Structure 1
Amino acid sequence: MVTKGDATRTLILEHASGVAARDGLEALSIGKLAQDLSLSKSGLFAHFGSKEALQLAILEFETERFIAEVLKPALAAPRGVPRLEALFDRYATWALARQKTGGCLFMSASFELDDRPGPARDKLVATERDWLETLAHAVRIAAREGHFSADVDPELAAQELHGIQMAAHHMVRLLGDDEAIPRARRAFTRWLAGYRKP
């Protein structure tokens, strides 16, 4: 059973995630969040204790949502190329769903925190590395299943695939390019074709 405190914490994190994606993790203000949500500043502070703890909670919250909405459903797909297709499609759906609330927090935080050491950056780096390893592992499986050539470089393939995702996010968010996602899907199809076993 979800307690009132848990429900309030989830409400705070949902709102704060959108604010952080739009304005940045460093721009978060407990006072402004409290005002936005009609909560007392002390009440909101009691849930996290510090701005740093709030930042970490937001990153963890988004990571859990990413796992639930992208990873788990995609990993249920058949091994090999179907799983890679599911990972790509679920990620595209995830990113598009966040366009109205500031975009993908992981993408915006990657640029914000790349030169800022600290716990929030450490958490983000761990999450990004997990995602890249998930992609690389899916590539390895595709090779074992005979869908890709045995000499495929999984880390390179994962980096290329992540690059397609990052470029699409940039084109949609910054440039407002409505064709970015369809082009990303075509780029993904070409990426698959480049690695398929002859």
Structure 2
Amino acid sequence: MAGRPRDERTRSVILRRAADIASQDGLEGLSIGRLATDLGVSKSGLFGYFGSKEELQLATVRAAAAVYVEEVVQPALTVPPGLGRVRRLCENWLSYSQRRVFPGGCFFFAVNAEFDARPGRVRDAAAAASLDWTRFVARAVDDARQLGELAGDTDPDQLAFELIAFMETANAVSLLHDDPNAYERARTAIRRCLDTASTNR
């Protein structure tokens, strides 16, 4: 029992490094051997934590999701439901990508592109995390609509789709073209989109 906290700390370090690698090189770029070399530990020791590459990939998705929640979701929950929370969610996401919390930008943007057409447990895990995020944004939009801060005919799913599209485009453009202005363009687009739907115009 005494060794468990240390084991969990070690596992967390391993998975954080794995998520960093995957954000740049994809989950297929992960291997027990590469992680062992990067972290200066034995391959057999790492294998004992996960047992297979697929289990390592799945654990990495879960670890990245926990970072995502900590960086993007939880800070927004300190803002009361309504349009303010929607704006905060968008800003948190852009900041998370822009600050390179993961060196390859948004972990899930990278992994979803890698696995979107590849059936299996890893794809299912990544898809579930992505769907949770989309639904969360849509619920935040719907809360703002029900509070009367967005027009009554606002379609929460549609508006969430548009907001996420702006965010993900900023992430992609900033990475591909090394263009930090992509984030400001996304902020402008999101602000205009929400102002158009707002009842306080």
Q: Same fold (TM over 0.5)?
A: yes
Further displaced range: 98-107 or 184-193: 98-107
Task: Mark the CA change 1:145 to 1:100 in structure 2 (over 3 Å): closer, same or farther.
Answer: closer
Partner of 2:41: 39
Equivalent AA in structure 2 for residue 154 of structure 1: P
Partner of 2:27: 25
User: Is 1:8 the counterpart of 2:13 in the alignment?
Assistant: no
Partner of 2:192: 190
- Give the superposition deviation at 1:156: 0.5
Equivalent AA in structure 2 for residue 41 of structure 1: K
Partner of 2:150: 148
CA contact (8 A) 1:16 1:28 kept: yes
> Where do residues 26-175 of structure 1 align in structure 2 (5 Å cutoff)?
26-98=28-100, 101-175=103-177
Equivalent AA in structure 2 for residue 173 of structure 1: L
Equivalent AA in structure 2 for residue 140 of structure 1: D
TM-score (norm 1): 0.96
- Give the superposition deviation at 1:26: 1.0
- Give the superposition deviation at 1:27: 1.6
Q: How many residues align?
A: 198
- Give the superposition deviation at 1:99: 6.4
Q: What secondary structure does 1:3 align onto?
A: helix
CA contact (8 A) 1:99 1:173 kept: no
Give the Cα–Cα distance (whole angstroms) in 1 for the partners of residues 174 and 101 of structure 2.
Answer: 8
Equivalent AA in structure 2 for residue 152 of structure 1: T
CA contact (8 A) 2:19 2:102 kept: no
After superposition, the C-alpha distances for 1:155-191 in whole angstroms (9 at most, x for unaligned) are 1001000100110001111111121111111011111
After superposition, the C-alpha distances for 1:16-39 in whole angstroms (9 at most, x for unaligned) are 111111001012111111011111
- Give the superposition deviation at 1:97: 2.4
CA contact (8 A) 1:80 1:145 kept: yes
Give the Cα–Cα distance (whole angstroms) in 2 for the partners of residues 74 and 17 of structure 1.
Answer: 23
TM-score (norm 2): 0.94
Equivalent AA in structure 1 for residue 186 of structure 2: A
Equivalent AA in structure 2 for residue 61 of structure 1: A
- Give the superposition deviation at 1:6: 1.1
Give the Cα–Cα distance (whole angstroms) in 1 for the partners of residues 84 and 119 of structure 2.
Answer: 38
The gaps in structure 2 that reach 5 residues or longer are none
CA contact (8 A) 1:148 1:196 kept: yes
